[in-house]
Structure 1
Amino acid sequence: MPIEILMPALSPTMEEGTLAKWHVKEGDTVSSGDIMAEIETDKATMEFEAVDEGKIGKILISEGTEGVKVNTAIAVLLEDGESADDIGDTGSAPEAETSSNAAPAEASDATAPAAGHGRGATDATPAPSAPAATDGSRIFASPLARRIAADKGLDLSAITGSGPHGRIVKSDVENAKAGDAPAKEAAPAAKDAAPTAKPASGPGADAVIAMYEGREFEEVTLNGMRKTIAARLTEAKQSIPHFYLRRDIELDALMKFRSDLNRQLESRGVKLSVNDFIIKACALALQAVPDANAVWAGDRILKLTPSDVAVAVAIDGGLFTPVLKDSEMKSLSALSAEMKDLATRARDRKLAPHEYQGGSFAISNLGMFGIDNFDAVINPPHGAILAVGAGVKKPVVGKDGELGVATVMSVTLSVDHRVIDGALGAQLLAAIKENLENPMTMLA
């Protein structure tokens, strides 16, 4: 039976995508792991790999099509002995199996295609959901693998998948024998997971447009990224109890130290920015105050061991927060090179999900735009985010009581009160300030 290839969920927030480019055409033979297409998600352009082997019988969604919903059939794969004659005239195979290549992200609940795509399409009945393992979790397996497993009397929950996202593919069941596959360790059941906050609806589009009747305006359609940003920030402000801590940090010692280092590193083509020092300072502060290196996990707090620091990068139409993992272990020059690479690929929308997901702490620096200070919104599930303003010359009173002038940078730490209390947040911010005002200690 022909197999429908479905639009995959390539990120936890993806609901629809753009089929940017096909790398195969009708009649081509594909094997597991072959690149079939490029798909634009709400965050990036990603390559889509084949899971099953077979021949491309029909391409249902053409290049450049926007707004393709996750689990929509995008092509039909033919197995040995099948031909294009087996595909129905409507563009969907009436006897096709589903979910061939759709390996949904963990956050997605959708397992069946929309009505009209899959078995029983003629009477608009959705295909049944994928079977569940004994622990209640879903089993991700290609239709061909399911069929072979049924013929051999194999329990899919006892087979470890080698495909993308642990998906069970043909070779996994062909190499397994009934009764000899080790059972997977049952995943612990979630305890009273916190419900996802829903954004406030506010006035509808028609009501808002009516307010501006007679005024000149332009309607801007929201792209996937802007929709995701709107939903996540609304959720963050509605569900996270923010509080704010502010400090002024004197930068003169850091600016001199940075200038000296850059002269020494010039021959290596390395030029450190103030932001590189801020990343390092935050990473070391999270090690010095480990209870603050934490995230909110619904009904518990996760305390991270490494300092995985996210940094906001502005791009056209939105922003990314790529994560620099193990930042406390890396030199300033290594952090600088990694940050430049991540920022460049973020602006080109070439980051993979694992490069902008995770982390416990974030930095948002608007000082380069002349902003003196601001309050940043926490990016869940992070425990805190540091908003960094510009370094400006200000009058200061020195330790000896004399009035002087110093370069001062204002920072604001936005804190999730469920994760970090006031005193703990103050300790973290004090550690960041200490590192930046004594930059040589960051090399120790």
Structure 2
Amino acid sequence: MPIEILMPALSPTMEEGTLAKWLVKEGDTVNSGDIMAEIETDKATMEFEAVDEGVVGKILIAEGTDGVKVNTPIAVLLEDGESADDIGKASSSTPKEEPKAAPEDAKQDAPVEKSSPAAPARADGDRVFASPLARRIAADKGIDLADVKGSGPKGRIVKADVEGATAAPKKADTAAPAASSAAPAGAAMAAGPTTDQVRKMYEGREYEEQPLDGMRKTIAARLTEAKQSVPHFYLRRDIQLDALLKFRSTLNKTLEPRGIKLSVNDFIIKACALALQQVPDANAVWAGDRTLSLKPSDVAVAVAIEGGLFTPVLKDAEMKSLSALSTEMKDLAARSRDRKLAPHEYMGGSFAISNLGMFGIDNFDAIINPPHAAILAVGAGAKKPVVGEDGELKVATVMSTTLSVDHRVIDGALGANLLNAIKDNLENPMGMLA
């Protein structure tokens, strides 16, 4: 029978995507590994490739179509001896081939395959791999491939494995499908008035509707959920930057021949990474019914892009030099703006930084990005009068910071210790090189 190709889940959180571009057309022959299309997720445009070989019999979803749900059939692949007339014979009992992510996203392949309900799975959660002929024979005989042991390469099920097998009695389905209880990606947005209600409020007024793209829907849903479910509290400190600015100027002169220029944000990243090592109990995330304490300092940094933002993660930031952090951050920021980050580059971390100082914002409160336990909001450095240790009034460059904290993970005193460590690191920048 023809094989339905399904809309793949290219990241663990993806629920729908846009079929941006087809790279094949009906009648084309594809082999395993051939890139078939480009798909735009909520965060990036990614390629996917064919799993098996065959001929593209029919394209079901036109390129440019958005809001395509994961596991929706998007094309039909014909095998040897099949024609377009066989397409109508495909049924839900036919195992469906799911495209896999392109090689550059290989680190995400395993969780994507495991999360897909369309792919047959064994009891231990591994996906079943079988030849197209074995799948067709199994479907005709009513055999569940999850019950068949494969004798082919890497356990792949082949023709001989299913020819002598018999169908097992069907078991009663006692568990409700996970998908039926899952809330849609935009469910959190339903708390306010509906679209029609808002339209009625503005009858007679000139306006233009702007539909939400995948990224904006995800931001709206996740941050609404975060603000409603995470018990935030806020800690504030002013940090004097004069010593850091002087030290940065000196370092940049020595790094100039290498084409490296350190920013204040590079020092903030390093200060936060070291602070998470100095206050290790704060280097943790919320995991539903427990917390996970992390050993490395994996620091996420918010990057504004057109229509939304990314939070790429600098892993093992405490181990890296300022120049290495600066180079890596510039690369991640550039690829964020081009929406070219792979999911493993913007997922994870235990702590985040959101810096709006470059936009002239004095101070603000940031929303925690779950499962992180804290996020540091950084304002602009400005000349302000301060009282020195000797009691004399002087002028200093002062930066306002606010630490938003998840009270389920970090209590007040622990959060204060973390913010104090960040402040000490920034006000004594030479110590960060030790």
TM-score normalised according to structure 1 size: 0.82
Q: 2:123 aligns with which of 110, 113, 134?
A: 134
d(CA) in 1 for partners of 2:28, 2:19: 18
More helix by share: 2
Distance in 1 (alpha carbons) for counterparts of 2:40 and 2:293: 33
Distance 1:32 1:397, change over 3 A: same
The CA distance in 1 between the partners of 2:393 and 2:92, in whole Å, is 83
SS in 1 for 2:248: helix
The separation in 1 between residues aligned to 2:14 and 2:67, in whole angstroms, is 11
Give 3-state SS (helix, strand or coil) of 2:198's partner.
helix
Partner of 2:156: 173
Aligned equivalents of 1:140 and 1:277: distance in 2? 48
Residue of structure 2 aligned with 1:343, choices 328, 333, 354: 333
State the partner residue of 2:105. Answer: none
Within 5 Å, which residues of 2 pair with 1:173-192? 173-174=156-157
Within the candidate set 96, 99, 103, 1:99 is matched to 96
Alignment match, 1:296: 286
- Determine if the alignment matches structure 1 residue 373 to structure 2 residue 363: yes
Seq. identity, %: 75
Measured against aligned partners, the alpha-carbon deviations of 1:41-64 in whole angstroms (never above 9, x if no partner) come to 111100112222222222222222
**AA in 2 matched with 1:69:** K
**Cα separation, 2, equivalents of 1:59 and 1:170:** 31
Could you say which residue in structure 1 is the equivalent of 2:297?
A: 307
Q: Distance in 2 between matches of 1:149 and 1:82?
A: 15
Q: Kindly provide the CA deviation profile for residues 366-403 of structure 1, in whole angstroms up to 9, marking residues without a partner as x.
A: 00000000000000000100000000001111111111
Q: Give the unaligned 5+ runs of structure 2.
A: 101-108, 162-181
The corresponding residue for 1:231 is 221
Mapped pair 1:392 → 2:382: yes
Letter in 2 for 1:18: T
- Separation in 1, partners of 2:71, 2:253: 55
Structure 1 contact 87–94 (Cα < 8 Å) conserved: no
Pairing of 1:29-428 with structure 2 (within 5 A): 29-88=29-88, 93-94=90-91, 97-102=94-99, 111-112=117-118, 133-134=122-123, 137=125, 139=127, 141=129, 144=132, 147=135, 156=146, 172-174=155-157, 199=188, 201-428=191-418
Name the SS of the counterpart of 1:5 in structure 2.
strand
Distance 1:404 1:71 in 2: 64
Deviation at 1:77, TM superposition (A): 1.2
SS at match of 1:412: strand
**Structure 1 residues 107 and 278: CA distance shift in structure 2, 3 A:** farther
Structure 1 segments of 4+ aligned residues over 6 angstroms from their partners: 107-110, 157-160, 175-178
5+ residue gaps, structure 1, are 113-129, 161-168, 179-194
Greater alpha carbon shift after TM alignment, 379-388 vs 92-101: 92-101
Q: 1:362 to 1:305 in 2, by over 3 A?
A: same
Structure 1 residues 441, 387: CA separation in 2 closer, same or farther (over 3 Å shift)?
same
Q: Distance in 1 between matches of 2:319 and 2:160?
A: 45
1:303 & 1:158 partners in 2: Cα distance?
40
C-alpha spacing 1:142/1:211, structure 2 compared with 1 (3 Å): farther
> Structure 2: how far apart are the matches of 1:290 and 1:380?
19
User: How far apart are the structure 2 equivalents of 1:157 and 1:249?
Assistant: 63
Q: Give the Å deviation of 1:98.
A: 4.5
* In 1, Cα distance between equivalents of 2:42 and 2:130: 26
- Compared CA separation, residues 146 and 361, structure 1 to 2 (3 A): farther
Matched position secondary structure for 2:10: coil
How far apart, CA to CA, are the structure 1 residues paired with 2:148 and 2:319? Answer: 39
Compared with structure 1, are the counterparts of its residues 159 and 413 closer, same or farther at alpha carbon in structure 2 (3 Å cutoff)?
farther
- Distance (whole Å) between structure 2 residues aligned to residue 420 and residue 326 of structure 1: 21
Letter in 1 for 2:82: E
Partners of 1:435 and 1:441 within 8 A in 2:
yes
- Structure 2 CA distance, aligned partners of 1:310 and 1:65? 32
- How far is the alpha carbon of 1:363 from its aligned partner? 0.3
CA shift at 1:278, angstroms?
A: 0.4
Partner AA of 2:409 in structure 1: V
1:72 maps to amino acid: T
Give me the whole-angstrom Cα distance separating, in 1, the residues matched to 2:256 and 2:390.
37
Quickly say closer, same or farther: Cα 1:158–1:84, change in 2 above 3 A: closer
SS at match of 1:359: coil
**Would you say the 8 A contact 2:95–2:135 is kept in 1?**
no
Whole-Å Cα distance in 1 between the matches of residues 122 and 335 of structure 2? 38
**Deviations 1:199-248, CA, capped at 9 Å, x for gaps:** 25222111111112222222111111111100000100110000000001
Residues 1:45 and 1:371: Cα distance change in structure 2 (over 3 Å): same
